[in-house]
Structure 1
Amino acid sequence: MDNPLFDGELVHSNRILYTPSPFARSSLLHLQEVGDLQARQAHASARSGLASYLFFLVESGAGELEYEGLRRPLRTGDCVFLDCRQPYLHRTGQDLWHLRWAHFYGPNMGAIYRKYQERGGQPSFHTAQAERYRSLLQQLYKAASSDDYVRDMVIYGKLVDLLTLLMAESWRPGPVRAARAKRQNLQQIKDYLDVHYTEKITLDDLAERFYINKFYLTRVFKEQFGQSVTHYLMQLRVTQAKRLLRFSDHSIETVAQECGLSDANYFSRLFKKVEGISPGEYRRQW
């Protein structure tokens, strides 16, 4: 668990980079990061390919979100809830914003986010309950910074409360487009990769597990998500490798194994191909 005060040229922030227990990581909704920031200069932040979900509240100021090919203005009292596996960018405007946020994940988050979307939930929306969201995020921060021996369960409860509030605000009855069923089928495969990327996975395995033609899977997955199954799997593994290289003292061989690649030499070549530097060089940067 890390609790730094960051005071830079672009932002002033408090955050906790949280490390859940193995039980929480495998079985519960679990926290990855929580904090708040005050922008000091206009700037943008872009991410993609992260096994994480992000919620943030704009407590003051204004900015915008780019997500799913759309640009959405944000103002005080707006909330953002998005899937960080998809590319996104948010930026503050000249009215420099103050944000409060949490990154979290869990074995069923893909299904939960799909249900949020089915109910009419949007990546950004204006809330009349900003104080409730603010309170929940503050409670998450407090729980993550405590030494309570059941804090993973406390955090789990707060995340359930957050998602329950999001579900309540998302409810907008209306027709569900038929095309969504097709998207959900492939989303299940994507969710499976997010959980099982440390295992040996082939197109034949996926085709058999999900009762789908592998050539159809290859074509439609790329159409829907903008990259091949193989590239997405590689991206997941490299992202996990970067996390382990930065926040653990595991050997390169162990990192490779925990990312689903038993050959450390192949892992190093793959990592350098994607990141432009070797795993050892990447670790030394931090």
Structure 2
Amino acid sequence: MSHSTALRNEAKRIIASTSGFARSNYIFLQEVGQITSQPDFISQRNSLLSYLFLVVEEGEGEFTYEEEKYDLKAGDCIFINCEHAYSHCAKNGSWTIHWLHFFGNNMNLIYDEYLQLEGKVVFAPKCPDKYIYLMEEIYRLSSNEIPIKEMLLYNKFTSLLCEIWKDNHSSSEEMMDEGKNQQILKQVKSYISKNFAMKVTLEELASKFFIDKFYLTRLFKKEYGKTIFNYLLECRLLESKRLLRNTKLSIAEIAIQVGINDVSYFTKVFKKIEGLSPRDYRKKWQEV
């Protein structure tokens, strides 16, 4: 491995220590990290018994693999066998990348199958954030000492490979059926409109409707022109206006009934959206 002498900015890295059992039976972590670097910082490697997965979070870069050059931009991903020579660096200013080095006894067969099914060395997923989130989870997990850490990491790598497969093959559930996505979105919207008074989280919705939470976020915003959080808030405010007009419940009671336990926050949001405080809104309707 060779590097220039350029200054690394905000670099963090963990080099994993792996047991013999994990090396024999799991896909295991070798290194995980993140770096923001300038164009004169060049990473080069060759003949490394490892697989690299890399995501560009910000900026642009150049990547060379098996003597073929690729231009990279934010959101692009790399998945390669590091036994072959490769290098990468930023261009047109700094870039921020996240990377994983990992290996396992079956990885050569897995990667060969990936290529045979027309998997790409460089690809641009619809939702790169899910990979960054997963790599950050691997970083956090690898920095903790817990008894089953290596098994948990193996589970994360299995999830990573599944997501890579989905984004590279048109038969994946996320990409092949637009009609199914529409159906899921309608179900999510209906669920929120009926359960807004309860605690509704993105993680809960993703689990309930069997969809990646980042992918769901992008689909919902694209379809309805608003975020899931904004739609949830819209449902809560609509019900609060009905209660202000038609009941004698206190402002605090109404806030709780629509799923907002902090009355100060409720008042602040209500006034920001409606241009009136809840009290003034109620008074205005009582005068009609």
TM range (shorter): 0.5 to 0.7
Selected match of 1:126 from 104, 124, 127: 124
Matches within 5 A, 1:179-218: none
SS at match of 2:94: coil
Matched, 1:152 2:154: no
Selected match of 1:76 from 57, 74, 97: 74
Unmatched runs of 5 consecutive residues or more in structure 1: 1-6, 174-286
TM-score, scaled to structure 2 = 0.56
Count of aligned pairs: 167
Q: CA deviation at 1:168?
A: 1.1
Q: CA deviation at 1:133?
A: 0.3
Matched, 1:35 2:40: no
Q: Deviations over 1:38-62 (max 9, x none)?
A: 1145322110100000001000010
Q: Deviations over 1:9-28 (max 9, x none)?
A: 14431110001111001110
SS at match of 2:47: coil
Matched, 1:65 2:57: no
Q: CA deviation at 1:33?
A: 0.3
Q: Deviations over 1:172-204 (max 9, x none)?
A: 58xxxxxxxxxxxxxxxxxxxxxxxxxxxxxxx
SS at match of 1:146: coil
Matches of 1:64 and 1:93, distance apart in 2? 7
Matched, 1:168 2:176: no
Partner of 1:46: 44
Q: CA deviation at 1:127?
A: 1.4
Matches of 1:74 and 1:107, distance apart in 2? 30
Do the aligned residues in 2 keep the contact of 1:11 with 1:41 (CA within 8 Å)? no
AA matched with 1:87: A
Partner of 1:100: 98
SS at match of 1:142: helix
TM-score, scaled to structure 1 = 0.56
SS at match of 2:151: helix
Q: CA deviation at 1:107?
A: 0.3
Partner of 1:90: 88
Bigger mean CA deviation after superposition, 62-71 or 39-48: 39-48
Do the aligned residues in 1 keep the contact of 2:8 with 2:35 (CA within 8 Å)? no
AA matched with 1:143: L
AA matched with 1:35: G
Matches of 1:172 and 1:110, distance apart in 2? 23
Matches of 1:62 and 1:101, distance apart in 2? 15
AA matched with 2:66: E
Matches of 2:169 and 2:40, distance apart in 1? 34
Larger Rg: 2
Matches of 2:89 and 2:7, distance apart in 1? 15
Do the aligned residues in 1 keep the contact of 2:51 with 2:79 (CA within 8 Å)? yes
Do the aligned residues in 1 keep the contact of 2:6 with 2:41 (CA within 8 Å)? no
SS at match of 1:159: helix
Matches of 1:53 and 1:11, distance apart in 2? 25
AA matched with 2:25: S
Matches of 2:43 and 2:102, distance apart in 1? 18
Structure 1 segments of 4 or more deviating over 6 A? none
Matched, 1:56 2:54: yes
